[in-house]
Amino acid sequence: MKTSIKLNVSAQYIFERLVDSRIYDIFEATGRFMAADELAGFAYSSVNDEGESCQIQITKLISAVSYHFQVETKDEIVSKAYDLKKMAADQVEVSYTQKVKAKNLLVALKNKTNSILFDWLLANNFKKILKQLEIGY
């Protein structure tokens, strides 16, 4: 899935909001507080939304430009990427990409079916969340 949206906020503001959620998740999972500049390459164990244990690794972190991470469960590897393109002083284009790699055929089939049915809903909800962040700016 890939989607993008233009927002009337600074790239630094949106980047900080995205990274703050990861810092909070790390604190909840490990009890360790980290600064944003310490996150690149960091990996930790957590529990996903379905209650399944997972390994999360921040794969790329460039302030106000890019934030990529990977979530690995027993069935799949989900790579998520937020890329920010500064359009003006207080305008940014946020591009979100999600790639799912299944570890077995049955999960791959389930993911393909879900992708066909629900990618539009995920993209729409993603845009709504970012619009809410824009309102808080």
Q: CATH code at 18? A: 3.30.530.20
- Could you give the CA distance from residue 72 to residue 93 in angstroms, rounded to a whole number? 28
pLDDT at 115: 84
Better pLDDT: 114 or 10: 10
Residue 82 CA to residue 67 CA, distance in Å, equals 5
The model's pLDDT over 38-64, given as tens digits with 9 standing for 90+, comes to 999 999 999 988 889 999 999 999 999
| pLDDT on residue 81 | 97
In which domain, by residue range, is 122 found?
A: 2-135
Report the number of distinct structural domains present in the chain: 1
SS3 label, residue 18:
helix
pLDDT bracket for residue 111 (50, 70, 90): confident
